[in-house]
Amino acid sequence: MNGFRHLHATLGRLAEAQLFFIGGSMKSGTTWLQLLLDSHPAIACKGESHVANHLSRLLTESLARHNQLLAHKNATIFQELSGFPLYGGGDLAYLIAAALLLGVAKGKDPGPARLAAIGEKTPDNIRHLDLLRTIFPDARFIHLVRDGRDCAVSGWFHNQRSSPDWIRGNFPSLSGYAALFAREWAKDLAMAGAFAGRHPEACLTLRYEDLVDDTPRQLARVLDFLGVAADQPTLDACCEAGAFARLSGGRAPGEEDRASFFRKARPGDWRRHLDAAQENEFRAAATPWLERFGYA
């Protein structure tokens, strides 16, 4: 029981920090932003817990099945008694929140100082913002946007490395993959834009290209949004920890290694891989969003 009390007290302290979620379409640079922020001594930013897109569904289903069992017992064996209370939506939210904080508790130890902000990065967060807002009403949300054509090309090479059988079985060429990605990218941006319109104070939209062009300035913008202070040495240290050369083992931005998670990090790479017909097909599905974010 002492272990439970200690852990519960730890989660209580973590819950006092500013919670935030990073999301974006696949290969938008969310991992890079996560690493930049996690390098700050007062921030723990981990990924990917898949709390919103996977664990929450499993917990919802399990609790519903358990409630069925309790309700049956209460109505039969214990019909003359009050029975055991059923679990409700608030209980489910508590379990999901605890699951997220349990992961954080296994990570960074800030020493005597408390963490100022705790973040979680799963790209699919972008598709579950309303759920996350319901569970964590005080959370903040960072949407990282990257030119969808670059996302499609990067995703193509990423899947060839990580899921070669899946990509070969479903997309024999880049054309089909890019066309589908265009529709999904536009859908992601539409959902995120609608959510930000409803909750502007809780949302920050950041372009990957701007983060590449001026990492210190854009990172400072994110930290200000999270309410986390950073002097220049701390900011410089975060940028150094997240530098492409450091993450890639010494390669310069633009130097490609298709066997690496950090393949290239060069905006505009889509021009080397999408022909005119493929780009026109992408534009047909996503031109309004390309224009809105300055990619047209």
Q: Are strands 43-46 and 140-145 parallel, antiparallel or unpaired?
A: unpaired
pLDDT at 13: 85
**pLDDT above 70: residue 112:** no
102, 105, 106, 111 alpha-carbon torsion, rounded to 10°: 180
pLDDT at 50: 92
- What whole-number distance in Å separates Cα of residue 87 and Cα of residue 291? 47
**Long-range contacts at 32-36 (CB < 8 A, ≥ 24 apart):** 32/211, 32/242, 32/247, 32/265, 33/121, 33/142, 33/144, 33/206, 33/211, 33/222, 34/119, 34/121, 35/241, 35/242, 35/247, 36/215, 36/219, 36/238, 36/239, 36/241, 36/242
Answer positive or negative: Cα dihedral of 221, 227, 232, 236: negative
For residue 280, name the pLDDT band (cuts at 50, 70, 90): very high
**Once rounded to an integer, what is the mean pLDDT over residues 198-222?**
97
**Once rounded to an integer, what is the mean pLDDT over residues 272-295?**
96
- What whole-number distance in Å separates Cα of residue 56 and Cα of residue 136? 13
Express each pLDDT in 48-75 by its tens digit.
Answer: 999 889 999 999 999 999 999 999 999 9
The answer to whether 251 and 257 are in contact (CB under 8 A) is yes
Residue scoring higher pLDDT (224 or 102): 224
For residue 108, name the pLDDT band (cuts at 50, 70, 90): low
Q: How many residues are present in the chain?
A: 296
**pLDDT above 70: residue 110:** no
The secondary structure of residue 40, as a DSSP letter, is S
Averaged confidence pLDDT in the chain = 92
- Close Cβ partners of 101 (under 8 Å, ≥ 6 residues apart): 11, 14, 15, 118
pLDDT at 8: 87
- CA-closest candidate to residue 104, choices 36, 31, 43: 43
**pLDDT above 70: residue 46:** yes
Answer positive or negative: Cα dihedral of 76, 63, 105, 114: negative
Q: Tell me the H-state helices in the chain.
A: 2-14, 30-38, 56-75, 89-105, 129-135, 148-162, 164-170, 174-198, 208-213, 215-226, 232-241, 244-247, 276-292
The answer to whether 235 and 219 are in contact (CB under 8 A) is yes
Express each pLDDT in 228-276 by its tens digit.
Answer: 998 999 999 999 999 999 999 999 988 988 999 999 888 999 999 999 9
pLDDT at 109: 59
Structural domains in the chain plus CATH codes: 2-292 (3.40.50.300)
**Once rounded to an integer, what is the mean pLDDT over residues 94-107?**
86
pLDDT at 79: 87
**Once rounded to an integer, what is the mean pLDDT over residues 108-122?**
77
For residue 100, name the pLDDT band (cuts at 50, 70, 90): confident
Pull the structure tokens for residue 52. Answer: 């919103």
Express each pLDDT in 119-149 by its tens digit.
Answer: 999 999 999 999 999 989 999 999 999 999 9
pLDDT at 255: 92
pLDDT at 113: 58
Angle at 62 between CA 57 and CA 63, to 5 degrees: 100
Express each pLDDT in 150-168 by its tens digit.
Answer: 999 999 999 999 999 999 9
- What whole-number distance in Å separates Cα of residue 45 and Cα of residue 110? 13
CA–CA distance from 274 to each of 8, 175, 231, 254 (Å)? 52, 8, 42, 17
**pTM, entire model:** 0.91
